[in-house]
């Protein structure tokens, strides 16, 4: 089956970091593409990419696809409402860099307790980047699963620009994890003030390209049609 992808890159500028987190949550709740209920609840919700040197703010796994048999979570770069960037130059550059990667994905392979995942990048979904070039992992750091460490190695060296902590700020039921949510807002505002361009980080850019999938095959005829 040949698929044609039309990509519409629609930036959406949001008034605040809190709005970005809310948007990531709300977008998926009634969405038929929301990740299967089989995903362990500790992975649901919205995560702050705390202490990420890159200008990115939060992410969610809710729009990913999940296979409970293999415990494999696939995160499509082109999926909308999964990732937010800051509205600084660096945020835009990160966004452009991702666009250049094209329709790629990250595949998380979790262990039995979902406390650890190895992460592999597939360029254009088919070319796996070997571990000796790029290797990443996610490791749970607390008892409940509200915090994970994300580490990345580039050519065998820990790549600090891609190392950060994932901290849950909206839980599986949509409740804000008060302390962490406030910490996210103040920390991101602080970072904005000392930003390269000195622009307050009141707004952030929601990275929400829309990938419209058009099959080259005809739609099956609906039964009963004349
Ligand atoms: C899963 O990973 C965690 C964290 O690295 C580790 O403590 C645990 O033993 C692993 N569980 C299994 C079943 O491999």
pLDDT in tens, 20-58: 889 889 989 988 889 877 889 999 999 999 988 877 888
- Closest ligand 1 atom, CA of 114? 1
Task: Place 116 in a pLDDT band, splitting at 50, 70 and 90.
Answer: very high
**Dist. CA 165 → ligand 1 center (Å):** 18
- State the Cα–Cα distance between residues 58 and 217, nearest whole angstrom: 37
Q: Kindly tell me if the per-residue pLDDT of 161 is higher than 70.
A: yes
Task: Answer whether 116 contacts ligand 1 (Cβ < 6 A).
Answer: yes
**Dist. CA 196 → ligand 1 center (Å):** 40
Residue 147: CB atoms within 10 Å = 17
Q: Compute CA 104 distance to the chain's CA centroid, rounded to the nearest angstrom.
A: 13
Task: Answer whether 115 contacts ligand 1 (Cβ < 6 A).
Answer: yes
Q: Kindly tell me if the per-residue pLDDT of 216 is higher than 50.
A: no
pLDDT tens-digit readout, 162-205? 899 999 999 999 999 989 999 998 888 777 654 333 333 333 44
Task: Answer whether 111 contacts ligand 1 (Cβ < 6 A).
Answer: yes
Task: Answer whether 113 contacts ligand 1 (Cβ < 6 A).
Answer: yes
More confident residue, 66 or 190: 66
Q: Round the average pLDDT of the chain to a whole number and report it.
A: 78
Pairing type for strands 65-67 and 105-110 reads: unpaired
């Amino acid at each position: 089956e040949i698929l044609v992808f039309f990509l519409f890159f629609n930036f959406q500028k949001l008034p605040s970091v809190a709005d970005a987190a809310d948007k990531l949550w709300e977008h998926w709740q009634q969405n038929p593409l929301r990740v299967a209920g089989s995903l362990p609840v500790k992975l649901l919700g919205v995560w702050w990419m705390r202490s990420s040197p890159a200008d990115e703010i939060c992410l969610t796994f809710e729009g990913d696809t999940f296979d409970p048999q293999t415990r494999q979570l696939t995160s499509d770069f082109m999926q909308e409402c999964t990732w937010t960037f800051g509205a600084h130059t660096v945020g835009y550059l990160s966004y452009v860099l991702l666009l250049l990667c094209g329709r790629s994905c990250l595949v998380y392979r979790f262990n039995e307790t979902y406390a650890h995942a190895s992460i592999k990048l597939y360029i254009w979904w088919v070319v796996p980047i070997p571990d000796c070039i790029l290797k990443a992992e996610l490791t749970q750091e607390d008892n409940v699963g509200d915090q994970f460490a994300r580490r990345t190695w580039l050519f065998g060296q820990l790549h600090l620009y891609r190392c950060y902590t994932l901290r849950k700020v909206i839980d599986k039921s949509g409740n804000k994890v008060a302390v962490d949510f406030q910490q996210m807002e103040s920390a991101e505002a602080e970072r904005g003030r000392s930003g390269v361009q000195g622009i307050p980080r009141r707004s952030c850019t929601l990275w929400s390209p829309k990938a419209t999938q058009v099959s080259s095959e005809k739609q099956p005829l609906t039964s009963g049609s004349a």
